[in-house]
Amino acid sequence: MTDAQPILEARSLERRFVTKRAFFGAPTIVRAVDGVDLAVRAGETFAIVGESGCGKSTLARLLVGLIPPTGGDVRFEGRSIAALDPRALREIRRDIQFIFQDPFSSLNPRMTVGALIEEPLRTHGIGSARERRGAVARLLDKVGLRPEHADRYPHEFSGGQRQRVGIARALASGPRVLIGDEPVSALDVSIQAQVVNILEDLKDEFGLTLVIIAHDLAVIRHMADRVAVMYLGKIVEVGRADRLFAKPAHPYSEALLAAIPVPVTGRKPVKVALEGDPPNPIAPPSGCRFHTRCPYAQPRCASEEPSLRDVGGGHMAACHFAGDLNLTGVGADVTARSEAAQRRFERYATARAAMAVKIDTNKPSREE
Ligand code: SF4
């Protein structure tokens, strides 16, 4: 793989769901992911954001192979996953792992934590029984749990501890890409900080690539190198997180940033706020899908669909007027726009200073 080649790619990726079949009528189709192109670089934290129902969780499941696409392609290190033989596919399954939003429902309640973490090692034939037990103990240590926790069951743990177990399980096969679907949103705010820090420490230690799905822009600003913004199944903007937060190029991104609550006194409120629910994805608007909510819409927006184009330095936006609009961002001041976000960042810093997660560089070896 060359430096320029992404580790994970979506090309014209589509996922359609048939929701119901009317009597003697045509099936109703939801285009949850509708022609997405994106490229995740090795070693980066790539975030996908958007309102509930925009398709970001479906996109995450497509990228990890939990659901098959109905069109397009996912590529890992340039290789199309759909074209792989079963053995190569098993190898790639080790390299791309998933962290679920709800750690409780994703962990089998009848299995001990040790068995849950060991399961991917057994599935992929990694190590002897003794080596696997050692690997489980090391993985528990890395996520801030103790070796004796291996004998307990998921219901004996708090939500934050269960998410740590989920992370340890995802790490067990030695993946190179971790995809997290809202990995901290189900947790208490103070616990979120610990889990975010664990993810960042593990990313640094193992050279992981993180793909994080989230709706909390404070978490995104804290973690992400680059951000993709999704609206009704399509990517409408993608670029470096600092630039996108400081100077968004798409009106939808501006509206999302404006929705961060509680402006501090002395700051001018931004000129746009996101109003109303997204349109029905079964019948998305013609032209630009955002035109029914966009304060900058012009007549051509209702008939002509904008494509993603470079607005400078690799920053892409799908808006006919991207680059011409003087949109307002929040920049590094995202925390200053929200007292809740500010408190969260302070907790991140405090938790990071207090944490002494010992990093052990012994990775479980792969059995040839
Ligand atoms: Fe708004 Fe038109 Fe740009 Fe769409 S193309 S985001 S409707 S200005």
The pLDDT mean for the chain works out to 83
- Taking 60 as the threshold, does the pLDDT of residue 121 lie above it? yes
Percent above pLDDT 70 for the chain: 82
CA 145 / ligand 1 centre spacing (Å): 49
Q: How far apart are the first and last CA of the chain?
A: 22
For 63, the 3-state DSSP assignment is helix
Name the one residue in this structure whose structure tokens are 């892409």. 316
Give, using CA atoms, the residue closest to atom 3 of ligand 1.
319
Side-chain-facing half-sphere of 5: CA atoms under 13 Å? 8
Please work out whether the CB of residue 320 comes within 6 Å of at least one atom of ligand 1.
yes
Is the CA virtual torsion 154, 139, 221, 265 positive or negative? Answer: positive
Name the one residue in this structure whose structure tokens are 């019948």. 283
For the CA of 294, the closest atom of ligand 1 is 1
If you average pLDDT over residues 123-138, what whole number do you get?
Answer: 91
Most confident range, picked from 42-51, 182-191, 274-283? 42-51
- Taking 90 as the threshold, does the pLDDT of residue 358 lie above it? no
For 302, the 3-state DSSP assignment is helix
299's tokens: 């007549």
For 257, the 3-state DSSP assignment is helix
If you average pLDDT over residues 82-103, what whole number do you get?
Answer: 86
CA 319 / ligand 1 centre spacing (Å): 5
CA 320 / ligand 1 centre spacing (Å): 6
If you average pLDDT over residues 73-78, what whole number do you get?
Answer: 94
For residues 209 and 175, give the distance between their C-alpha atoms in angstroms, rounded to a whole number.
9
365's tokens: 């070896």
Closest CA to 345 of 197, 173, 130: 197
pTM for the full predicted model = 0.85
- Taking 80 as the threshold, does the pLDDT of residue 261 lie above it? no
269's tokens: 């409120």
Under 8 Å between Cβ of 217 and 334 = yes
Provide CB contacts within 8 A for 176, sequence distance 6+: 7, 42, 95, 96, 207, 208, 209
- Taking 90 as the threshold, does the pLDDT of residue 104 lie above it? no
Under 8 Å between Cβ of 72 and 36 = yes
If you average pLDDT over residues 70-77, what whole number do you get?
Answer: 95
pLDDT for the residue 25: 72
If you average pLDDT over residues 296-313, what whole number do you get?
Answer: 95
CA 206 to chain CA mean position, Å: 18
